Amino acid sequence: MKYINKRLWFAGMWIIFLLLWWRVFSPPQQQEAKIPNDWFYAQRAYPQGEINYQAYREGQRQVLALREAAAIRESASWQPAGPRNVGGRISDLELSPTSFDTIYAGTASGGIFRSVDAGSSWEPVFDGALSLSIGDLALDPANPRIIYAGTGEVNAGGGSQTYDGTGLYRSSDAGESWAHLGLEDTRYISRVVIDPKDPQRIFVGAMGKLFAGSAERGLYRSTDGGQSWEQKLFISDSTGCIDVAIHPHHSDTLYAAMWERIRMPHRRSYGGPTCGLYRSYDGGENWIELTNGIPNHSPNVGRIGIAIAASSPAVIYAIYADATGFFAGVYKSIDHGDSWTRTNDGAL
């Protein structure tokens, strides 16, 4: 029995010795790579493999400078100096015909601003809306306190982004409050035109979805002040209405510029063969395409803008861009759009 106990004691000591020897003399295990940490460091060490110490120190100085600037900002007294660049580019300006000191500015992503002192100061009047992206504004010619705002700014391109709109809005008190009038599925509203003879008749140009085809593109008409709408001109689900003009004296005469555009994440195309100019002589019920002397049915035709000469409404001007977005010419008609000639636009 005594002999067995000794054997067990020596066996236990031998096992303890082996464990100690293995722990002391065995090579250390490779620590698992900390992938998130490595990625964090590699971002800042690229391409030399180590973080630039001078840049690191400069970053620390910038942090201190920001803290000091924040302290100054909090202790100072500030007042707004106008829309400036906060709302992005200006998409439209409207001047009240009865008070030249009153101006409304629609912005790409900042809503609507109003000035009552000829632009010396501004105040936001659309901040409560669901979309602050403004495509176009229009004032009721019979009562300029009535304002229409089409949301969804249409000028995406060249690296710029725009935001979806939520339809058309109306204010009856010079911008103090707003009511929604529908057309939310149009996404981007390019133009709002009010019949100068009948303010209850409103025309709206819509470009539809930016990144997909859309059956909601085209020209819409309301005959009850925006309470209901009809789509009166539709070309295709890739072609929307980018501009509208109405004859100042014979308001059944309308012109619509149609623009084929779908923007893809990997490709930007600003034109196509369905771009064109259209005219209606019956308030939008029927339309014909104008083709005599102007670019048409070409894959290189792009965005079109149109304007009627107020002093002589038979004279119409159209400005063209090509499918890459570059200037392609200014055209003039002296017979209500029946025929066109290119103007001397070489200096543009």
d(CA 56, CA 42): 14
d(CA 288, CA 186): 23
pLDDT tens sequence across 182-233 = 999 999 999 999 999 999 999 999 999 888 888 999 999 999 999 999 999 9
- Give the pLDDT band of residue 40 (cuts 50, 70, 90): low
- Give the pLDDT band of residue 253 (cuts 50, 70, 90): very high
For residue 61, tell me if it sits in a domain: yes
> Percent of the chain, pLDDT > 70?
79
The encoded tokens of residue 320 equal 């063209």
For residue 7, tell me if it sits in a domain: no
Residue 69 pLDDT > 60, yes or no? yes
For residue 42, tell me if it sits in a domain: yes
Q: What is the mean pLDDT of residues 290-299?
A: 95
The encoded tokens of residue 18 equal 């082996």
For residue 99, tell me if it sits in a domain: no
For residue 275, tell me if it sits in a domain: no
d(CA 131, CA 151): 7
What local confidence, expressed as pLDDT, does residue 26 receive?
53
pLDDT tens sequence across 150-190 = 999 998 765 556 788 999 999 999 999 999 999 999 999 99
Helix (H, G, I), strand (E, B) or coil at 4: helix
Q: What is the mean pLDDT of residues 317-321?
A: 97
What local confidence, expressed as pLDDT, does residue 4 receive?
53
Domain that holds residue 69: 36-78
For residue 153, tell me if it sits in a domain: no
Number of domains in the chain: 1
For residue 23, give Cα distances in angstroms to 18, 221, 288: 9, 86, 92
- Give the pLDDT band of residue 31 (cuts 50, 70, 90): very low
Contact between 214 and 199 under an 8 Å Cβ cutoff? The reply is no
d(CA 198, CA 191): 18
For residue 72, tell me if it sits in a domain: yes
pTM for the full predicted model: 0.75
For residue 214, tell me if it sits in a domain: no
pLDDT tens sequence across 15-25 = 665 555 555 55
